[in-house]
Structure 1
Amino acid sequence: MSDAEKWQPYRHPQPPEAAAELVVPDVVPKDERVWVPVEPNVWFRPLLLCVSRGYWCNLLRVRRAGVLSRHRHPQPVHGYVLKGEWRYLEHDWVAREGSYVYETAGETHTLVVDPHVEEMVTLFQVNGAMIYVDPDGKVMGYDDVFTRLAKCRAHYEAVGLGGGFVEQFIR
């Protein structure tokens, strides 16, 4: 293959069934309304809500110390810490800025942000669901891509972006 051919785009149409690519230019948004509140001083910013495969990608932002949630994952989760740090009560490691975390299917853990952390921002890809449990494993609730989608739609409607604003993140 010649150098000229290497620089040629693919010449054929993409599969008609393929979903459109998604490019989010401002991952950390300038408009605070894009952050969806979870609880006081805790928000998520959707990047991808994959309803066809049952997973979502988002930024989680926390601006307070404390226990966020105890939850179980039936499928793996990937995380990359962009700012600050966090840990799980059940483990002896701390996920600091620049850390990658792989959470195995079946893991139950309690996410904590310690008092010295002013702000934590982590990119998470959550497959399946987050099942919220008490210390003995009794199910208290859950989140999946559809509950996250509903939270986004309601929030964006309430803050004036319109419920349709979330459509750009759905695949």
Structure 2
Amino acid sequence: MRQHSQITKLPKEPHQAAIARYAREGAYIAGDDVSAPWVPFGPNAAIKHLCFDVRTNSVANVLWVKGGGRIGTHKHRGVVSAITLEGSWGYYEYDWTARPGDFVYELPGTAHTLYSDDPNGMKALFWINGAVEFYDDAGVFDFTMDVFWFINHYTTFCSENGLDVNKSMFI
């Protein structure tokens, strides 16, 4: 039997020790195209990656659909939040159109097809939790995007274009 004196005392607030050891205070990511370049995503879109959190399989990015176009049908496995920055966009499956300042909240399991018929295109900030499954036009599964897909998308583009990887994006 252990003596009372042998029991390790926990700090008054044990979470503080874990925070001090593992957490980052946050990150600052400059919005310029050097720190966060626009990475092509298909023929008419690009992604500006802002943050990768491998602990929670979450990413933050800005999606730009140029001059109108669409992103394939996809299903979310986690919650997604978005705020429209420029232009307008929607999902073929819903009757609303998001415009600058509009907020969109998507639940896990929802499937939809993003489009923009705005001649100037659209830009929206997305916070994506969990994987996103993409399907082709026939409804057949195509590929999965998760935090590791987004990391590879960004780091491969940087490598191929002689850009430094911004390590502040990894939290």
TM value normalised by structure 2: 0.82
Tell me if structure 2 keeps the 8 A contact 1:33–1:156: no
State the Cα distance separating 1:168 from its structure 2 match.
2.1
Tell me if structure 1 keeps the 8 A contact 2:36–2:49: no
- Asked if 1:156 is matched to 2:161, the reply is no
- Asked if 1:19 is matched to 2:24, the reply is yes
Q: 1:64 aligns with which of 62, 67, 90?
A: 67
Q: Helix, strand or coil: the match of 1:124?
A: strand
**Which structure has the larger Rg?**
2
State the Cα distance separating 1:63 from its structure 2 match.
1.1
- Asked if 1:93 is matched to 2:121, the reply is no
RMSD: 2.0
Tell me if structure 2 keeps the 8 A contact 1:152–1:166: no
Aligned pairs for 1:68-147 (under 5 A) are 68-114=71-117, 116-134=118-136, 137-147=139-149
Partner residue of 1:40? 43
State the Cα distance separating 1:70 from its structure 2 match.
0.6
* 1:61 aligned partner, one-letter code: W
* Distance in 2 of aligned mates of 1:127 and 1:105: 9
State the Cα distance separating 1:21 from its structure 2 match.
1.1
Tell me if structure 2 keeps the 8 A contact 1:149–1:166: no
For each residue in 1:123-169, what CA deviation from the matched residue of structure 2 results, as whole angstroms up to 9, or x when unmatched?
0001111100245643111111101101111101111113xx14221
Give 5+ residue unaligned stretches, structure 2.
1-15
* 1:68 aligned partner, one-letter code: I
What is the identity percentage for the equivalent residue pairs of Structure 1 and Structure 2?
30
Q: Helix, strand or coil: the match of 1:149?
A: helix
Q: Helix, strand or coil: the match of 1:94?
A: coil
State the Cα distance separating 1:40 from its structure 2 match.
2.1
The verdict on how the C-alpha distance between 1:30 and 1:136 changes in structure 2, with shifts beyond 3 A counting, is closer
Q: What number of residue pairs does the alignment pair up?
A: 155
Partner residue of 1:170? 170
Q: Helix, strand or coil: the match of 2:93?
A: coil
